[in-house]
Structure 1
Amino acid sequence: MKKYAFLPAALLMLGTAVGAAHATPSAGRAVNRDFAKLSADGSRAFDDIDMARTALANNDTAGAIKLLTDANNALTRAKSDNKVFMKAEAQLTPPKKAPAGAPAPKAAPSTQPVAWLPVDGEYIVTEDLEPTSTKGTAVASANTSLNKGKPTQAAQNLQVAAVDVDFVLAIAPLDASASDIYRASNLLAGATPNTKDADAALLDAQNSIRFVSEDMVGTPSGKKAAGH
């Protein structure tokens, strides 16, 4: 599920960047437990944002308005979601490697705690691998399994190949995201919609995404990966 242009498609796995899950015989259970942290409403809202920007690019203002109404409703529901967590941006743990194309923050991280909502994620290899190597192929297969809604199979792919990976989580500031959606909706209302500024507001929501790491080391049963 693609939420924004800079993150490759991957099924969402949400979490709060606490602890590490190791791919032992319980790897499937660990990944499933992590998937249970998924915020369905957060996912839906950012799906809507991505599709609304596409609609605006195609001059489908009415379609964009409908999508933003849905996104707003999803984030309203998400405010009572137990997947939300409070933390200052300055306290977030960055991943060893960020997804390709991830935007850099434009300002110093805030020390004021805010509500964050996990919205996307993908496996990032912490080793330097050739894409056609056995391990590189295993990671590609794992992300394919995630796309198909098969987290247990993804864990098994990584476990067999002993691939050292991070699961990089994309989290969004809940209130700021809702504000951006509201601003975009207002800009599209009325007889002369301001599609340019509305799109910029939605881009602000996407660029407010921050990335955090929840380590997952895929190793054969009973073994530890190098450095662990």
Structure 2
Amino acid sequence: MKKFALLPAAALMMGTALGVAHAAPSNGRAVNRDFAKLSADGSRAFDDIAMARTALANNDPAGAAKLLTDANNALTRAKSDNKVFMKAEAQLTPPKKAPAGAPAPSASASTQPVAWLPVDGEYIVTEDLEPTSPKGSAVASANTSLNKGQTAQAAQNLQVAAVDVDFVLAIAPLDASAGDVYRASNLLAGKDTKGADSALQEAQNSIRFVSEDMVGSPDGQGSGKKSAH
């Protein structure tokens, strides 16, 4: 996944985590269905957050401020996104194993329903492969293509890999994330770059990883398990 590379204690690694066994999608339709679960505005906002933290680390508060303006606007638009779903954190269905390096969920998950926004997704290999093996490399290429919106190429990469994969979704609590970004903007306007970065890190750390069946297909039906045929 691409949204969390700047998390000091939670850099995500591509590759060999064991997840729920799903057959690798055999065509573009399956990949398109997975990709359609993501919120374009949510994905954009978290890209902005990651890039804003880079800008702050590079002593570029003006660049960070522009990115946070864009993130604020994207999260405002996301409030009317049909990808948003209501669920209590305690009701989330985690994958059998989250991506390596993912932040651990809170010990006392809330039972109060909140709005969640799917902001990223990644195919995790369910076989025990070396990341540098041809199959592991093919899945890594599929994730790169998915991050660029190139679903046909992602499907082709997965066909080449011919391995079982699980599509893991990264979801963000919409209101809390919007609040963190708004707070970061205000702190940055007050020249508190450290505080702004901390607020953005809180937004990134609020991400939770869930099984793909938490989010319905565009037609409103659950995705179910992928078929190799």
1:101 aligns with 2:101: yes
Q: 1:150 & 1:44 partners in 2: Cα distance?
A: 16
**Which shows bigger deviation, 61-70 or 82-91?**
61-70
Aligned partner of 2:125 in structure 1 is 125
Aligned partner of 2:12 in structure 1 is 7
1:166 aligns with 2:166: yes
Aligned partner of 1:16 in structure 2 is none
SS of equivalent to 1:179? helix
Change beyond 3 A, Cα 1:96–1:107: closer
Change beyond 3 A, Cα 1:23–1:103: closer
Change beyond 3 A, Cα 1:63–1:151: same
Change beyond 3 A, Cα 1:54–1:157: closer
State the Cα distance separating 1:21 from its structure 2 match: 7.6
Indicate conservation of the 8 Å contact 2:24/2:163, yes or no.
no
State the Cα distance separating 1:207 from its structure 2 match: 0.1
TM-score with structure 1 length normalisation?
A: 0.81
Runs of 4+ in 1 over 6 A off after TM superposition: none
Q: 2:177 & 2:61 partners in 1: Cα distance?
A: 20
Change beyond 3 A, Cα 1:134–1:64: closer
Q: Report Cα offsets for 1:43-72 as digits up to 9, x if no partner.
A: 111111111111111111122112111111
1:48 aligns with 2:53: no
Change beyond 3 A, Cα 1:214–1:184: same
State the Cα distance separating 1:147 from its structure 2 match: 4.0
Aligned partner of 1:179 in structure 2 is 179
How many pairs align? Answer: 207
Indicate conservation of the 8 Å contact 2:170/2:208, yes or no.
yes
Q: 1:96 & 1:159 partners in 2: Cα distance?
A: 23
Matching of residues 77-156 of structure 1 within 5 Å: 77-156=77-156
Aligned partner of 1:203 in structure 2 is 201
Whichever residue aligns with residue 187 of structure 2, its letter is: L
SS of equivalent to 1:199? helix
State the Cα distance separating 1:201 from its structure 2 match: 0.6
Q: Report Cα offsets for 1:1-55 as digits up to 9, x if no partner.
A: 732222358xxxxxxxxxx985565x32121122223311101111111111111
Q: 2:125 & 2:153 partners in 1: Cα distance?
A: 17
Q: 2:130 & 2:88 partners in 1: Cα distance?
A: 37
Q: Which runs of 5+ in 2 are unaligned?
A: 6-10, 15-20, 214-224
CA RMSD in angstroms, aligned pairs only: 2.4
Q: Which runs of 5+ in 1 are unaligned?
A: 10-19, 222-228
Indicate conservation of the 8 Å contact 1:53/1:64, yes or no.
yes
1:194 aligns with 2:199: no
TM-score with structure 2 length normalisation?
A: 0.80
Indicate conservation of the 8 Å contact 1:138/1:161, yes or no.
yes
